[in-house]
Amino acid sequence: MEYIIFGLIAYLLGSIPSGVIVGKVGYNIDIREHGSGNLGATNTFRILGVKAGSIVVVSDILKGTLATLVPLFMEADVNRLIIGLFAVLGHTYPIFAKFKGGKAVATSGGILLGISPLLFIIMVLAFLVTLYISKYVSLSSMITGIVAIITSCFMRNTGLIIVTVVLTIFVFYRHKDNIKRIKNKTEPKIKWM
């Protein structure tokens, strides 16, 4: 029963459409009607700029983190990594945004922040270095997932390894169109770094 309750809470947290809220409240536009049509941080950065994009990425990270911390605060006997996965499902298929959400990157990172801050810091560094070199957000996201798997192996936490593998596979799946564009050299590069 606890898994159902906290899984539902995590899903609803993940379903909060940060990009839509920031776009409508701060800029009077629906981010889904511009750029890639995605409500995630990357599209927000491209359409609304660094300030709006930063707000969205932090919000999306915190959704995953809160999902893992609520059971901790409530002293629930559940696996917080599993509960966190529901936040990713919520972010990707949000009930508050017609089940069309983001690509799971920031919220996945948020889960790992709630479980292992050190792993999260390593992931952020890997993301920024790869982004600086490649200028591709999508490629940086996928490489960060691989770094997360390798790092979790060194931490010798079986549950963490399994979840990072699952999240990374999901991130790759969500970026299948980006992978095609990278191969065709049509994937847009960032201009602000």
Q: What is the pLDDT of residue 37?
A: 82
Residue with tokens 């299948």: 176
42-77 b/e (C-beta count within 10 Å ≥ 16 → b) = bbbbbbbeeebbebbbebbbbbbbbbbbbbeeeeee
Q: How far apart are CA 9 and CA 26, in angstroms?
A: 27
Intervals of the chain under pLDDT 50: none
Q: What is the pLDDT of residue 6?
A: 96
Which tens digit of pLDDT belongs to each residue from 74-115? Answer: 999 999 999 999 999 999 999 999 999 999 999 999 999 999
Nearest to 21 by CA among 69, 66, 67, 63: 63
pTM for the structure as a whole: 0.92
C-alpha to C-alpha distances, 183 to 38, 178, 180, nearest whole angstrom: 21, 9, 5
